[in-house]
Amino acid sequence: MDKIAISEARNNLPRLVQKVAATRQPVTLLRYGKPAAVIMPVLPDSEINNCYSLRSVKIKMSEDFNHPMEDLWQATAVTDEEEE
């Protein structure tokens, strides 16, 4: 992340904004040598976290998706025998 003094950013703000937009890298503004603020690029809607990101993914189900798995039934049978 680039760092720049606030006074320099004030004098070159249009160039700085253009750089942040082009490189998509944030720039830290320094006040008296210490971080004071950050200029961040705006993210397009597609880059914002989408809690429904799998909605557009097509899925394929097996013909026997609801049939029990043999090894699963064997495992539960062993457990049932131990409980008795």
Q: Is 33 left (phi over 0), alpha (psi -120 to 50) or beta?
A: left
Overall pTM > 0.75:
no
Mean pLDDT of 26-41: 94
34: its two tokens: 């210490």
Tell me the CB-side half-sphere exposure of residue 77, using CA atoms within 13 A.
6
Model confidence at 73, in pLDDT bands (50, 70, 90)? low
Mean pLDDT of 28-40: 94
- Say yes or no: domain 1-42 is CATH 3.40.1620.10: yes
Q: What is the mean pLDDT of the chain?
A: 80
Model confidence at 31, in pLDDT bands (50, 70, 90)? very high
Residue 77 has pLDDT above 90, yes or no: no
